[in-house]
Amino acid sequence: MLNVILRTLLYSILTICICWGMVLFLAPQVITLYLNKKFGDTVKVYNLNISPKLVLEISRVEFLDSNILPNHIFNGSLRAIELNWRFNESFRPEVVVSTGPLISESFTKLSSAMLTFEMPRFWGDDKVNFNFNLENFGLAGFYQSELFKANGVYEPKSRQFSNLEFSGSGVSISSEAPFTGPSFHGVVVRANLDSNYGLSSIEGFSLTSPELYSEKQDIFLDSLSANLDFEKNLGRLDLRIGELSSFYGEVSLEKVSLNASLNSLNTNGWDFIAIKAENLNLLNELYFGVGSALENVETELKKTSSEKINVQSRAHFADFHIKNGDGILADLTGSRINLESHLVGDTFTSKVYFQSASSPTATIDGQVKLAFPSTDFMLCVEWYRCRADFWSDYILAIGSNKLIGSSQCVLPRCFINGSKHTIRSDNTIKFFEQASRSKIFNPFLLAVLFSNFSDGRKMGSGHMFQF
């Protein structure tokens, strides 16, 4: 009996040694043949070896128009690949993959990576726990970070991620509005991929970042948080920002919220957006008095077609003074403003209604039209430097007396000679008397304006003034 046990043990050891030797000497050839058969000349492997500890090592892999994922062509090279194995605390086998630098057209750079995942069970579910660390990772033209980490659960059959947690540091996001920031952290309850491994649905996505800033657009974001849910072409995005300000401190928005209804996961895939801010502070003391602000600022954007967007905006003036240097020109405290706007193609039109809190009441009822050259429209969006043909008509009423005005700027002449303005009063003396009683305007400003108006062309009790 002892001889049988001993013989069985020795044969087992011999079998293991033979298998181990076959793996060492045959596995590299088998793997190479498999890769050649599956990918042909699009994937080339150099110096593939298996160590005595059964660690697979590859010095370099080159990809040439390789279709690794469906409908995704990959070009580049990956160096210093090592595939190791071990048992985790639950005594389940784990695979550990580490790589050196990656250079490709799709990935800007990757200095090193480490991926750890559990081997799928031969029975039960096929859920795979994983985690990975990427150093100096970047997606070409979009994202880059010094360190990116993620862990979660993946189900290969259903192409579903769950309980995903991710974070990054040294972040740079490049797009029409590039942003950089120190770090971010996020979680995803569930995310599904389609057959082409694109994102089809996402549930319980949340993201936080202490700050982001864009030097190009002069924007600083403080205390950013976002939540997203999307499934079957229907989704919702909620964004919160503690403070959004000009990097140089000229304008700031406090307690900003953005809510959007989505029909797809791209920048144009929205139907409705509502933006609110508790305060809009104007901090340039050359033009505005200290503490000048708009409060309860609200804007709603509704897409009625692929070419037309309707915009509704409203706000109240808090303690608000318009200045010119050291002199106060107007006090708009307590006033309110409403705008009803439409963006059709490259043309923006807006109706403006303003009402003061003074007695007598001052109102402005007007409309504005901007026609952007198509080549300059995105430049306006990206840089906030808008060059557009401009027309406006408005009525400024104080009590029962009115000023009727119009302005026009047609490119490129108005940038050389200035815009053309025409203002007409129905009764000049009574209008300026009412303006003085409203106590909105600086008396010295009114005296100067009255003098200039009186020099205009006489029209009954009023005047026409052009400049």
Q: Domain check: are 446 and 465 in the same one?
A: yes
Beta-bridge partners for 322: 288, 330
pLDDT at 344 over 90: no
Of 119, 140, 161, which marks where a domain is finished?
Answer: 140
Overall domain count for the chain: 3
pLDDT digit string, tens, across residues 39-65: 888 888 888 887 777 778 888 888 888
pLDDT at 408 over 60: yes
- Residue 258 included in any domain: yes
Q: Domain check: are 18 and 134 in the same one?
A: yes
- Residue 284 included in any domain: yes
Range of the domain at 240: 218-340
Q: What percent of the chain has pLDDT over 90?
A: 22
- Residue 6 included in any domain: no
pLDDT at res. 384: 46
- Residue 64 included in any domain: yes
**Residue 183 and residue 209 in contact, taking contact as beta carbons nearer than 8 Å:** yes
Residue 27 pLDDT class (50, 70, 90 cuts) = low
Mean pLDDT of the 249-263 span: 89
For 282-294, b where at least 16 C-beta lie within 10 A, e where not — what string? Answer: bbeeeebbeebbb
SS (H, E, C) the chain: CHHHHHHHHHHHHHHHHHHHHHHHHHHHHHHHHHHHHHHHHHEEEEEEEECCCCCEEEEEEEEEEEEEECCEEEEEEEEEEEEEEEECCCCCEEEEEEECCEEECCEEEECEEEEEEECCCCCCCCCEEEEEEEEEEEECCCEEEEEEEEEEEEECCCCEEEEEEEEEEEEEECCCCCEEEEEEEEEEEEEEECCCCCEEEEEEEEEEEEEEEECCCCEEEEEEEEEEEEECCEEEEEEEEEEEEECCCCEEEEEEEEEEEECCCCCCCEEEEEEEEEEEEECCCCCECCCCEEEEEEEEEEECCCCEEEEEEEEEECCCEEEECCEEEEECCCCEEEEEEEEECCEEEEEEEEECCCCCCEEEEEEEEEECCHHHHHHHHHHCCCCCEEEEEEEEEECCEEEEEEEEECCCHHHHHCCEEEEEECCHHHHHHHHHHHCCECHHHHHHHHHHHHCCEEECCEEEEEC
Rank 18-32, 170-184, 243-257 by mean pLDDT and report only the highest: 243-257
pLDDT at res. 368: 87
Q: Domain check: are 45 and 123 in the same one?
A: yes
- Residue 392 included in any domain: yes
Q: Domain check: are 365 and 292 in the same one?
A: no
Q: Domain check: are 44 and 120 in the same one?
A: yes
Q: Domain check: are 136 and 108 in the same one?
A: yes
pLDDT at 265 over 50: yes
Could you tell me the sign of the dihedral formed by the alpha carbons of 285, 289, 295, 298, in that order? negative
- Residue 210 included in any domain: no
Beta-bridge partners for 277: 256, 297
pLDDT at 426 over 50: yes
Of 99, 122, 140, which marks where a domain is finished?
Answer: 140
Amino acid letter for position 123 = W
pLDDT at res. 102: 85
For 96, phi then psi, to 5°, come to -120, 120
pLDDT at 277 over 90: yes
Of 302, 323, 340, which marks where a domain is finished?
Answer: 340
- Residue 393 included in any domain: yes
pLDDT at res. 383: 47
pLDDT digit string, tens, across residues 75-96: 888 888 888 888 777 777 888 8
Q: Domain check: are 31 and 130 in the same one?
A: yes
Residue 375 pLDDT class (50, 70, 90 cuts) = very low
Q: Domain check: are 317 and 359 in the same one?
A: no
Q: Domain check: are 386 and 437 in the same one?
A: yes
Mean pLDDT of the 388-403 span: 86
- Residue 79 included in any domain: yes
Higher pLDDT, 292 or 107: 292
